[in-house]
Structure 1
Amino acid sequence: MLHIDALTKRFGEKTAVDSANIEVDKPTMIGIIGRSGAGKSTLLRMVNRLSDPTEGSIVFEGENITDLKGAAKRNWQSRCAMIFQQFNLVPRMDVVSNVLHGTLNQRSTFATLFNLYPQSDIHHAIEILDRLGIAEQAPKRAEALSGGQQQRVAIARALMQDPKIILADEPIASLDPMNAQVVMQSLRTIHEEDGRMVIANLHTLDTARRYCDRVIGMRDGRIVFDGTPAQLTTGVARDIYGAGADFSEAATSTEIETLDRSAKQAAEAVA
């Protein structure tokens, strides 16, 4: 389905992504991990064509995505939805209208200007919100919702595009552990029930292991690991993060049980 070949992005003398190669032959949930600045976000932005590669190619179902321009490029961005860490919602707009923004690439300039939506789209938006457990929030302003609820609204907006691929750039980085699990389970359910490819940049190893079928590790712009969650050992993680023997997975955990255990151990050490 997706073939990424020698994909490279340079900003002046800095190489953000260095000759990345990824093959995905079926809808899969993939987690990309690595330190800040490893090139994870730049990689996703190139796949979505928010950023142009310096070298290399992206081919999806036989179509060279790196060659697309104008309307063809916008059509690709409809089929390849992007979810961001900061949600990118319109704060003072109601939730259902934010979800309907997922159809903007499919609507006329007139309809967009006057905020006109078919009843079928409105009903579909509410159905998606219901699927994500937040239909009762539909009439509220987005700014009135919690962070976890806002991220689920962002997921609903992505689903309105009916995409083949969902790219999630640190979707749980600003969320508490409980909301992080709700959001990741939502993405996992969408992958399993809809058969959509999901690629998520993640900052926690336990999240990658729990929700993803495949994990890719990046360091200094290069892919240094590509394997199953079971193969993501602590030793491999040290190599990905460039950490020493004192590396602790608990420091990156979103699992409530792990956090509680770490807090207890810290308290016992002080005592």
Structure 2
Amino acid sequence: MLLSVENVTKTFGRNKAVDNVSFALEKSAMIGIIGRSGAGKSTFLRMVNRLTDAITGAIKFDGRDILHLKAAEKRAWQSDCAMIFQQFNLVPRMDVVSNVLHGTLNRRSTFATMFNLYPQGDIHRAIDILDRLGIAEQAPKRAEALSGGQQQRVAIARALMQDPKIILADEPIASLDPMNAQVVMQALRRIHEEDGRMVIANLHTLDTARRYCDRVIGMRGGRIVFDGTPDQLTTGVARDIYGADASFSEAATSTSIEALETPAERAVHQAEATV
């Protein structure tokens, strides 16, 4: 079993943020975790990355319980388990390639870190990764000069610099417009398919989960209430995950460009397509 999550629980005071969560993955896959705000999605990813600790349970990757790792072993795991955040977490006034090179910090000496010294090979690799993500020309620019979608691709490039076994993405497209959201999700999907890396992404839109993920896990109140394939994620199932009534509309959560068009705009685009 590549990843095994066994009865994991995390509490904050009397509140169970993650409540007895269990699932397993036999092989690398792209997993989407969906649910309303407060469902426990982010807390779960932070436990996998060891940014916060579980109260009970086990999370085993390739047979090793990562919740028991300490000191150097814990840091090594965090290098193997890259994290991508909604707000990018870049250094705004630093150039793009240096932000990407920060993905190597866990394996560099304190001296090299203090004086911002990087091997030439790492610099070339960082630029190659940026090129793979279609933003190599942005390498010398400050991160703050880039669009949100470009900044998120820089964050993905930084994660790839770690050469991780697993990538965790916490709401990676929540702050992006539909076009940039598609670009970022396509990049994560290619990374899974071409590199064979496991990707687990917290998502807030059903169409995104269906389009890009091999498996979808729905969380509500800290518990898993759905675990299945994208085609099993029906509107009825979604209502249960989000605790919604019959008025629930998927269009309100859609990231597709078409869903945001007015009927008049859609008619124009359909007419243009037939010309």
TM-score interval for Structure 1 and Structure 2 normalised by the shorter chain = over 0.9
1:217 maps to which residue? 218
User: In the aligned structure 1, how far is the partner of 2:265 from the partner of 2:251?
Assistant: 12
Extract unaligned runs of 5+ from structure 1. Answer: 266-271
Q: Determine the C-alpha separation between the residues in 2 that align with 1:159 and 1:41.
A: 21
Q: 1:81 to 1:107 in 2, by over 3 A?
A: same
- TM-score, with length taken from structure 2: 0.95
Q: Which amino acid aligns with 1:90?
A: V
> What fraction of aligned residue pairs are identical, expressed as a percent?
80
SS at match of 2:67: helix
- The CA deviation at 1:22 is 1.4
Determine whether 1:196 maps to 2:197. Answer: yes
Match of 1:186 in 2: 187
Unmatched 5+ stretches in structure 2: 267-275
Shift of 1:261: 5.0
Q: Distance in 2 between matches of 1:233 and 1:2?
A: 26
Question: Could you tell me which residue of structure 2 aligns to residue 13 of structure 1?
Answer: 14
Residue identity in the other structure for 2:261? D
Partner of 1:129: 130
Take 1:261 and 1:205, find their aligned partners in 2: how far apart are those partners? 20
2: distance between equivalents of 1:161 and 1:108? 15
8 Å CA contact 1:250, 1:262 repeated in 2: no
Task: Give 3-state SS (helix, strand or coil) of 1:91's partner.
Answer: coil
Name the counterpart of 1:248.
249
For residues 137 and 13 of structure 2, the distance between their equivalents in structure 1, rounded to whole angstroms, comes to 48
2:49 alignment partner AA? N
Residues 214, 114 of structure 1: CA spacing in aligned structure 2 closer, same or farther, 3 A cutoff? same
Distance in 2 between the 1:262 and 1:100 partners?
A: 46
Match of 1:237 in 2: 238
Moved over 3 A (4+): 261-265
Give the C-alpha shift of residue 260 in structure 1: 1.2
Q: Within 2, Cα distance between the matches of 1:262 and 1:35?
A: 28
Q: Secondary structure at the match of 1:112?
A: helix
Q: Counterpart of 2:17 in 1: which secondary structure? A: strand
Q: Which residue of 2 aligns with 1:44?
A: 45
Corresponding residue number in structure 2 for 1:29: 30
**Alignment match, 2:269:** none
Aligned-partner residue type, residue 97 of structure 1: S
Greater mean deviation of Cα atoms: 123-132 or 252-261: 252-261
- Are 2:166 and 1:169 equivalent residues in the alignment? no
Q: CA RMSD in A?
A: 1.1
| Partner SS for 2:54 | coil
Secondary structure of the residue that 1:178 maps to in structure 2? helix
State the shift of 1:259 in Å: 1.6
> Per the alignment, in what secondary structure is the counterpart of residue 26 of structure 1?
coil
- Paired position in structure 2 for 1:81: 82
Q: Distance in 1 between matches of 2:71 and 2:42?
A: 23
Partner of 1:268: none
Corresponding residue for 2:149?
148
State the shift of 1:263 in Å.
8.5
1:103 match? 104
Assess, with a 3 A threshold, how the Cα gap between structure 1 residues 240 and 263 changes in structure 2: closer, same or farther: farther
